[in-house]
Amino acid sequence: MKSKTVLITGASRGIGAQTALLAAKEGWQVAVNYSTNSLAADAVVRQIRSAGGSAISIQADVGVEAEIKRMFAQIDAKWGRLDGLVNNAGVVDFAQRLDQFSAQRLERMMRINVIGSFLCAKEAVLRMSTRQGGEGGSIVNVGSAASRLGSPNQYIDYAASKGAVDVMTLGLAKEVASEGIRVNAVRPGIIDTEIHASGGQPDRARDLAPQMPMGRVGSSLEVAQAIVWLLSPLSSYCSGSLLDIAGAR
């Protein structure tokens, strides 16, 4: 059997990087997507290869359709197949109330978090669907517990973008269920990753830990384990599932 191939967007750090490492350990060929940090992406690839795995890094901004198409074309040229997609790339912004949001902030948020996820899923379906001549596959969208909490006074726009990802997951799962494709989402709560620094709050996870029901925040590995399970045959009857990884929050 040929090794299966997975594309993980935003895989140079945090949850994406951990998912890439764990997927490779489970035998997947991994396409490590990144937007700007080539050094971090290359470090993930080196780590996979040093352990005997197969991986490549691919630069692409998932907020730009032409770059998404180029990314998938590179995977076609390298491996000639796609069996898994992890829609992990996403952005957050500085904490603000809705009445402070600019149109530019909202456009960026939705273009990357929502439209990018839709377009990556589109390209994956075109390659995986038995209706299109594919062999089936699994799509895992990385949402957020924010979609059910709302993130008032901080990131209502981010929460809304992840709500859109939830709905896409539910609808697409039904749309391609008969074509060999499973579609699920994980919804992390407060996870100790670099994304908090991107929103101007590098200590957010540490500061919020005492308020969490379990008395701690989650780790990237804990989320990655759920993602890789959803990619695998072990979750063969799971589709249209929204899996919260939020420590009872």
Backbone angles phi, psi at 206, to 5 degrees: -65, -40
Within 91-180, strands assigned E span 137-142
Closest CA to 124 of 13, 240, 9, 242: 9
Half-sphere exposure of 42 toward its Cβ, with a 13 Å CA cutoff?
Answer: 4
Q: Give the integer Cα–Cα distance in Å for 130 and 234.
A: 20
Question: Tokens for 89?
Answer: 């790339």
| CB-CB contact of 145 with 244 (8 Å) | yes
Asked whether the CA dihedral 120, 172, 164, 205 is positive or negative, the reply is: negative
Within the chain, strands assigned E span 5-8, 29-34, 55-59, 84-87, 137-142, 181-188, 242-245
> Known catalytic residue: 158?
yes
Choosing from 34, 155, 158, 237, the catalytic residue is 158
Q: Give the integer Cα–Cα distance in Å for 29 and 34.
A: 16
* 106: enclosing H helix or E strand: helix 103-110
Q: Provide the annotated active-site residues.
A: 158
